[in-house]
A = this chain, B = another copy of it.
Amino acid sequence: MGESMNIGVIGAGRIGMVHAESLAHRGPGARLAAIADVDPDTARTAAERFGIPRAVSDHRAMLEDPAIAAVSICSSTDTHARLIIEAAESGKHIFCEKPIAHDLGEIDRALAAVDAAGVKLQIGFNRRFDANFQRVRQAIASGEIGEPSLLHIISRDPAPPPISYIRVSGGMFLDMIIHDFDMARFLIGAEVAEVYAVAGVRVDPAIGEAGDVDTAIITLKFENGVLGVIDNSRRAAYGYDQRVEVLGSLGSASVGNNYPNAASISDAQSVRRDLPLNFFMDRYAESYTAELRAFVDAVRNDTPVPVSGRDGRIPVVMGLAATLSHREGRPVALSEIT
């Protein structure tokens, strides 16, 4: 596959715009050839903004276009599995936002379609492409900190999403913490055997009334004996808080947050700096481009994608196990979830 690989983006919402911008301006090596949105105006506006040759309201027009080699699925979660199947059957390579689905049966049907079609599928766990987490992964993979024994992931949003979103989100374990489940696997390079989740409503009672939680601690037992813990909150007053720490036999690797500047102000009250980058669009801007570049490279060079369909499935299993653990107040082995 040559220089002229064309990609279409399906879904011109927030994350779709992020991908369109990466493809249009940040040069991951492919051409943004078409954009689809169920709302024709949204598709057209996006096309104008990024100079995209083609805007469609029905993604099938894109799938039927032989000039399009790959699609990026950025529509709502409930459409992911179906679109993966359609795209695979059209012979398109697929980049799909996380999660594939909340139902393992749906996921398995999607992955089977991908296998049958022999196309590539990469899942959008963009944090794997962040410079901070890659540096920690490197510290582990290179042996710089020896054999890992303890993992701690901190993941806190600046503020909870609207209650309307909470209601359809699949719950905190599947919606928010799924990123951290992936990060745990990515950093340690091993599978989790068992999870134990405690959680509660500490941020907003309305979240509890909607049947969800907003604060959680999940303990992980990895198959290789590493112990891990994830702590999460839907609200950190100081902004987006994304840190990890791994203790190994030779030392530890940890990452702090990213800041808008490196300035420090000292006055008669305190020595202080500005708040961390506020949310994922700023914090992970570069990783969104990097994951697309990796996908394009994998397609063009016919090499394995860095985040496979299986990598998309397992965090859902972990989210279901954590949900069950929290509901039943007991550790849950991943093998219980099928």
A interface residue numbers (CB < 8 A to B): 25-27, 131-132, 134-136, 139, 144-147, 149-150, 152, 154, 156, 196, 198-200, 202-203, 215-217, 219, 221, 225-229, 231, 233, 235-238, 241, 247-258, 260-276, 329-331
- Would you list 21 pairs from A and B whose C-beta atoms are within 8 A, ordered by A residue? A25-B26, A132-B262, A135-B261, A144-B267, A146-B237, A147-B202, A149-B233, A150-B215, A150-B217, A150-B231, A152-B154, A198-B219, A215-B227, A236-B247, A250-B268, A251-B268, A254-B266, A270-B274, A271-B273, A271-B274, A271-B275
Cα of A263 to Cα of B255 in the assembled complex, Å: 4
A237 partner residues in chain B, CB cutoff 8 A: 146, 248-252, 266-268
A251 contact from B145, B216, B265, Cβ within 8 A: B265
Cα of A274 to Cα of B146 in the assembled complex, Å: 18
A221 partner residues in chain B, CB cutoff 8 A: 198
Known: A131-B260, A219-B196. A252 touches B229 (CB 8 A): no
Cα of A217 to Cα of B153 in the assembled complex, Å: 13
A231 contact from B152, B241, B253, B254, Cβ within 8 A: B152
- CB pair A251 B274 closer than 8 Å: no
- CB pair A267 B200 closer than 8 Å: no
Nearest-neighbor residue (CB-CB) of A232 within chain B: B150
Known: A202-B225, A266-B238. A261 touches B131 (CB 8 A): yes
Cα of A150 to Cα of B235 in the assembled complex, Å: 11
- CB pair B267 A270 closer than 8 Å: no
- CB pair A272 B274 closer than 8 Å: no
A265 partner residues in chain B, CB cutoff 8 A: 139, 144-145, 251-253, 270
A263 contact from B203, B247, B254, B266, Cβ within 8 A: B254
A252 contact from B131, B217, B236, Cβ within 8 A: B236
Cα of A207 to Cα of B75 in the assembled complex, Å: 52
Cα of A235 to Cα of B264 in the assembled complex, Å: 18
Cα of A262 to Cα of B243 in the assembled complex, Å: 9
Interface centre among A25, A149, A330 (most CB of B within 10 A): A149
15 A-B pairs besides A135-B260, A144-B267, A254-B263 with CB distance below 8 A are A139-B263, A149-B233, A152-B152, A198-B221, A200-B225, A200-B227, A202-B227, A203-B249, A229-B229, A237-B251, A238-B252, A238-B268, A270-B272, A270-B275, A271-B273
